Structure 1
Amino acid sequence: MDDDLAAEMRAKRLQQLIQGRREYLNLRQEEVAERLDMSARNYGNWERGVVKEWTDEKLFHLADALEMTESQVARLFLIAVDRLPPADTRPVSGREHDGDPSMDAFLYDYAAMMEALSLPTFLIDQRWEVRMANRAYRNLFRGLRHHPTAMPTDNFLRFGLLHPEASAILVDFQDWQLSMLAQLATSLERNDQDTELHMLRREVYLRPTLRNTYLDDMQTWVLGAGADLVHHDGKARIIRHPDPLIGLRSCRLVEETPRPLQARGLARITLVLTELGEETTVESLCAGAASCSV
């Protein structure tokens, strides 16, 4: 009975993901079936989860037809076959290089390279804990009031979700938080035994506004944008630098991680800061933000 209930719940989640994505794209079942080179009836069975066996080929074809992002493909596989897609290049935890002098030398040189960059850049692990950051990143958050668990030099997600002064820096704050909550959900799916991630979600649940966003708004957002803060849509958000000569800037998160860092479960994120377009006004940036000082 428990197995039947679990299968029923899995099929329902799969239908919500596939149908929700199709409706987000404003596609009819017939149009998706055409992309898959199959009958609308057979595609209808796919959407309802009535499939004898979900093969990797079927799932990848379905993901292509529904124009899914990398994070959405991962979610599709997790729901359909209870694992991530093959040939996954996402960083994974590993300690094969611990104590390796050549790796220690690489990390030393890599830190020097990061420090020489003018753009804020930092290394994160699967929890978005900051393992290394350059001076430009630290300067971005200088003057920030100390918080025991949510400093940006400790954990980027915790900072954006829990620090009371985060909205002073992350200007279009609701959009920043929405994408961070989606990243938290994805990280939990990929690392469901991680107690620190579960603890962060519990802290989110203790805050009614964040809890409602996580349970309601974030699910809708994921159908359109994908759950990955770094890759989901290449969207530029707005950030406020404490240096008045820099001030408001457009900020795009870019990931560029060499293989030695991937092997250690790390990813490098760079905050690419550029001038705002002429059409952007301070009022439009502050709209919807939790707080905004001008």
Structure 2
Amino acid sequence: MNAGTKTGAPAVDDDLAAGMRAQRLRDLIVGRREFLNLRQEEVADRLDMSARNYGNWERGVVKEWTDGKLFQLATALEMTEFQTVRLFLIAVDRLPDTRPIGGRGCVEGPSLDAFLFDYAAMMEALSLPTFLIDHRWEVKSANAAYRELFRGLSHHPGAMPSASFLQFGLFHPDAPAILVDYRNWQLSMLAQLATGLERHDQDMNLRRLQRDVHQHPSLREAYLNDMQTWVLGAGADLVHHEGTARIIRHPDPLIGLQSCRLVEETPRALQARGLTRITLVLTELDAEGAADLMCPRPTPCGV
């Protein structure tokens, strides 16, 4: 092999990688626009540019993707936080750094324990199920309404809702009985896992959870294929889901099926400790939501 061949090989590899990245970026941008049923001209109007210039954006004819351009594009295409992160990773191979994405790692120790003790007392006064999580969706504290929602569950190592909301939803055999529209719950939880891994790619607990997912064929298929397609449209993790309501079954028969929205309300004191507060807003299920229950749903895998 001559010197010219040796020096030329890396350039070919770089060109191939660049081409693949450009195609992934185009698939994301065009796919999102088509999901919204928008023409190029309509997106161009939102960006205050000509349709020709926007067409260059879709074709990848951009000299430099700045944070400003990417945030403008994400806004024009109504992208959620999850989709925006993916847009940055594909376009510039890094997370956004001009907007806060996620919190810091959870600070452990006596000061956290004391804070959680005081905050838990406040949460107990709330009538809606409320819980605190870290970036892994491990539950650090929960109120009585949350515990009541999941009372009577059979014990399952590593997948109890008092320990991890994600692992409960993905692996507990009783999860579909409570998370009634289970397919949507499952895909959004897998999207949440992907979001966590993109932000905390060295977190061994998240990587272990990902391995557990890959060990089960149905979850692996959903994670590698179905979730990617679902994200393009729904575009979200558990919380940032464009206001979509899901369906949940309360163990009290007088309450029964409820529409459920996950609402994030996180004061600075929690953010500083790497925690997020999630409230499950439960309301009476309408007729349309009840009709959706006729769709078949998968069952979770055992760990």
| TM-score over 0.5 for the pair | yes
User: Would the alpha carbon gap of residues 289 and 125 (structure 1) be closer, same or farther in structure 2, given more than 3 Å must change?
Assistant: same
- Give % identity: 71
Rg (Cα) greater in structure: 2
Q: Secondary structure of 1:87's match?
A: coil
Residue deviations 1:90-112 (CA, integer Å, cap 9, x gap): 322264x9555xx6654332110
Task: Please say if 1:40 is aligned against 2:48.
Answer: no
User: Would the alpha carbon gap of residues 7 and 273 (structure 1) be closer, same or farther in structure 2, given more than 3 Å must change?
Assistant: same
Counterpart among 60, 65, 68 of residue 54 in structure 1: 65
Task: Please say if 1:290 is aligned against 2:298.
Answer: yes
Counterpart among 87, 90, 93 of residue 99 in structure 2: 87
Q: Which residue is 1:133 aligned to?
A: 142
Q: Which whole-Å CA distance do the structure 2 matches of 1:25 and 1:159 have between them?
A: 33
Where in structure 2 are there 5+ consecutive unaligned residues? 1-9
Deviation at 1:79, TM superposition (A): 2.1
Q: How does 1:267-282 map to 2 (within 5 A)?
A: 267-281=276-290
Q: Which whole-Å CA distance do the structure 2 matches of 1:286 and 1:112 have between them?
A: 40
Q: Which whole-Å CA distance do the structure 2 matches of 1:129 and 1:200 have between them?
A: 12
Q: Which residue is 2:4 aligned to?
A: none
Aligned length: 287
Task: Please say if 1:118 is aligned against 2:104.
Answer: no
Q: Secondary structure of 1:38's match?
A: coil
Residue deviations 1:169-193 (CA, integer Å, cap 9, x gap): 1111111101111111111111111
Q: Which residue is 1:10 aligned to?
A: 21
Counterpart among 244, 259, 272 of residue 250 in structure 1: 259
Q: Which residue is 1:154 aligned to?
A: 163
Residue deviations 1:4-55 (CA, integer Å, cap 9, x gap): 4443333222222111111111222233223323333322221132321111
Where in structure 1 are there 5+ consecutive unaligned residues? none
Q: Which whole-Å CA distance do the structure 2 matches of 1:239 and 1:76 have between them?
A: 32
Q: Which whole-Å CA distance do the structure 1 matches of 2:289 and 2:56 have between them?
A: 46
Contact 2:265–2:278 (Cα < 8 Å) also in 1: yes
One-letter code of the match for 2:133? I
Contact 2:31–2:232 (Cα < 8 Å) also in 1: yes
Residue deviations 1:153-174 (CA, integer Å, cap 9, x gap): 1111111111111101111111
Q: Which whole-Å CA distance do the structure 2 matches of 1:202 and 1:159 have between them?
A: 16
Contact 1:93–1:263 (Cα < 8 Å) also in 2: no
Deviation at 1:287, TM superposition (A): 2.5
Counterpart among 71, 95, 111 of residue 82 in structure 2: 71
Contact 2:40–2:55 (Cα < 8 Å) also in 1: yes
Q: Secondary structure of 1:273's match?
A: strand
Q: How does 1:86-105 map to 2 (within 5 A)?
A: 86-88=98-100, 90-93=102-105, 95=107, 99-100=110-111, 105=114
